[in-house]
Amino acid sequence: MKYLKIDDQTLSDLSIFETSGKPSIYGLYNKTRTQGGAAKLENLFRHPLADEHSINERAAVFEFFSRREYIFPLDAETVGSLAYYMENNDVRSQLQAGGQSFGQRLKDMVSTDADFVFVRDGVQATLRLFYGMRTFAGALQLDARDTVYEPVLAIMIEALNRPEFELINQLAGPEFDIKINPGLLAELDKQIRFAHRENILRLLDAVYELDVHIAIGQLARTKGFHFAKAINRESAVLHFKKVYHPHVEEAVANDLYLDRGHNILFLTGANMAGKSTLMRSIGVALYVGHMGLPVAAEQFEFAVRDGIYTSINLADNLSQGASHYYAEVLRVKEVAKELSGQSQLFVIFDELFRGTNVKDAYDATIALTSAFAAHRGSQFIISTHIMEAGEVLQQKTLPISYQFLPTELRNNTPFYNRVLREGITADRQGMIIIQNEGILDMLDEGIRKMGESTCHS
């Protein structure tokens, strides 16, 4: 299977996984009930796919679960104790049938032996799991008829009803604790942990997967997320309708369309206008879309990418002695290398070359944006403070879409509506704020007063 190319920088820019207590995308999506389910989901997050068929297939399964409310049939404790039980496959811990001496029995009456309790709990959990899964699978059969989930379910049902599980299936019932005599317990222990170990583990894996399916389905329903559609990579289309950032409360949604004719979004706007958030929300949706998971957008179609590269908030750590600017250049170089190898990428550069003087940043922005434009198969979002660079780029005929996030001044306080507009920002609220704060007048006044006092003295 082909996977999407990503790196640590992209993961941290998009806050895919938790770092230093900030809310993560994985955390948002992880509503699984079991630890195994969470691990499975994490694995999906670590390895987004890069071919349209597997993405769409996976999305279809999740979509099936989002249509109706399903409740995961098992409690976390049952699954947890089975997993714990299965972990120990040391033959010495196997329960021995018969041959219990009188002394042993007497000892059992006084206090239960820990090994015995371990096996008993594990076996009981297995029985509960079989019963729960059988009931759930049976109920699901009708819903799953003629859907993508039907074959998956069929495999699961088959796995549950294997002939070697006959004894287990006979015993499994709705009671929480099923009465089993010590001889039978020893037999079940042997079957579950040793004889049919592989099949039980496979079943456990299917349980984890079901957990992920149900959790994601529920998330899509409750959060109102929609499923993305992966299309052919050659089309180079990125089409969002009402995309927003899932972590931002009352987030404003935006539309975006990029394709071969317009493969660069040149984004301008004031600092607080929401440039970074918008870029993050697009990056996150695309990332999550590549896993077949539902995204925070009303509609989303994307050409499958080979990789996602971002450079948002590149660590500006002066104390480390590493030049911020140099770090940025190396990041750009990395992307350029990928591009020259005919990869089709999605690239975000936020405030390109913030770490250098304006002249250089201006020249570099123009040169690189023009060079990126030639790579029609890849898409770029480039944001900058240097709007003059945009004006120069506009003179050339390049496949660039110019948009900005506006700032309005209301009673001297800047107000941001966070809705994209066509063009390059011409907002000059910076000077207006300075004037409104009366700083310049204050300084003039001080000089005037001082002049007076020296005249008088």
Partner 1 sequence: MPFITDKQTLTDLNMLGKYKTGSIFNLFNRVKTRGGELLLENMFIAPLADAQSINERAAHIQYLQELDITLEINRDSMDLASQYFTERRPSNRLSAVFNNYREKMQEVLYRSQSLLIHQKQIDAVQKILLAGSLLLGQLQKKEKSENPCKALQDQLGKIINDPALKQLRARYPFTVQQTAQCQYLFLNVFREDIQRLFQLLYEMDVYISVAKTARERNLVYARAMNSNGEHFHIEDLRHPTLSGAIGNSITLNKEQNLLFLTGANMAGKSTWMKTLGISFYLAHMGFPVAAALMNFSVMEGIFTSINVPDDISLGWSHFYAEVMRVKLVAKEVSSGKKLFVLFDELFKGTNVKDAYDATLVVTQKLARYTNCAFVISTHIIEVGEALKDKENIQFQYMPTLMKGAVPQYTYRLADGITEDRQGMIIIENEKILEMLKPKTREDD
Helix (H), strand (E) at residue 231: strand 229-231
- Per CB under 8 A, contacts with partner 1 among 121-160 are none
**Considering the rule CB under 8 A, would residue 41 count as an interface residue with partner 1?**
no
CA angle 285, 288, 293 (to 5 degrees): 115
CA atoms of 61 and 294, how far apart (whole Å):
11
The distance of closest approach from Cβ of residue 336 to partner 1 in the complex, given in angstroms and rounded to an integer, is: 4
Choose one: 137-145, 180-188, 290-298, 382-390; the region binding partner 1 (CB under 8 A). Answer: 382-390
- Determine the angle formed by the axes of helices 76-87 and 197-223, rounding to 10 degrees: 150
- Per CB under 8 A, contacts with partner 1 among 216-235 are 234
CB of 337 closer than 8 Å to CB of 374: no
Nearest to 393 by CA among 421, 427, 422, 362: 362
CA atoms of 318 and 383, how far apart (whole Å):
22
Residue indicated by tokens 């539902």: 294
**Considering the rule CB under 8 A, would residue 450 count as an interface residue with partner 1?**
yes
Rule CB under 8 A: choose which of 107, 333, 396, 421 binds partner 1. 333
**Considering the rule CB under 8 A, would residue 49 count as an interface residue with partner 1?**
no
**Considering the rule CB under 8 A, would residue 421 count as an interface residue with partner 1?**
no
Give the bridge partners for 393, in sequence order. none
Rule CB under 8 A: choose which of 387, 392, 398, 409 binds partner 1. 387
**Considering the rule CB under 8 A, would residue 330 count as an interface residue with partner 1?**
yes
CA atoms of 208 and 245, how far apart (whole Å):
28
**Considering the rule CB under 8 A, would residue 428 count as an interface residue with partner 1?**
yes
Measured from the Cβ of residue 1, the count of other Cβ atoms closer than 10 Å reads: 7
**Considering the rule CB under 8 A, would residue 237 count as an interface residue with partner 1?**
no
Give the bridge partners for 258, in sequence order. 238
**Considering the rule CB under 8 A, would residue 175 count as an interface residue with partner 1?**
no
Q: How far is CA 384 from CA 26, 278, 348, 354, in A?
A: 29, 14, 11, 8
**Considering the rule CB under 8 A, would residue 367 count as an interface residue with partner 1?**
yes
- Determine the angle formed by the axes of helices 149-160 and 52-67, rounding to 10 degrees: 70
**Considering the rule CB under 8 A, would residue 457 count as an interface residue with partner 1?**
no
Q: What three-state secondary structure class fits 45?
A: helix
Rule CB under 8 A: choose which of 361, 381, 393, 400 binds partner 1. 361
The distance of closest approach from Cβ of residue 296 to partner 1 in the complex, given in angstroms and rounded to an integer, is: 19
Return the number of the residue (128 or 375) whose C-beta is nearest partner 1.
Answer: 375
Rule CB under 8 A: choose which of 9, 81, 310, 425 binds partner 1. 425
**Considering the rule CB under 8 A, would residue 315 count as an interface residue with partner 1?**
no
Residues 6+ apart with CB under 8 A from 115: 93, 95
**Considering the rule CB under 8 A, would residue 455 count as an interface residue with partner 1?**
no
**Considering the rule CB under 8 A, would residue 209 count as an interface residue with partner 1?**
no
Rounded to 5 degrees, what are φ and ψ at 233?
A: -65, -30
CA atoms of 215 and 44, how far apart (whole Å):
14
**How many H helices and E strands in the chain?**
17, 14
Choose one: 45-53, 68-76, 182-190, 441-449; the region binding partner 1 (CB under 8 A). Answer: 441-449
The distance of closest approach from Cβ of residue 423 to partner 1 in the complex, given in angstroms and rounded to an integer, is: 14
- Per CB under 8 A, contacts with partner 1 among 261-290 are 268, 270-272, 276
Rule CB under 8 A: choose which of 100, 104, 323, 417 binds partner 1. 323
Choose one: 78-86, 97-105, 160-168, 335-343; the region binding partner 1 (CB under 8 A). Answer: 335-343
DSSP code string of 143-206: HHTTSTHHHHHHHHHHHHT-GGGHHHHHH--SSSS----HHHHHHHHIIIIIITHHHHHHHHHH
Site residues, partner 1 (CB under 8 A): 234, 260, 268, 270-272, 276, 316, 318, 321, 323-326, 329-330, 332-333, 336-337, 339-340, 342, 353, 355-364, 367-368, 371-372, 374-377, 385-388, 414, 425, 427-431, 433-434, 437-440, 442-447, 449-450
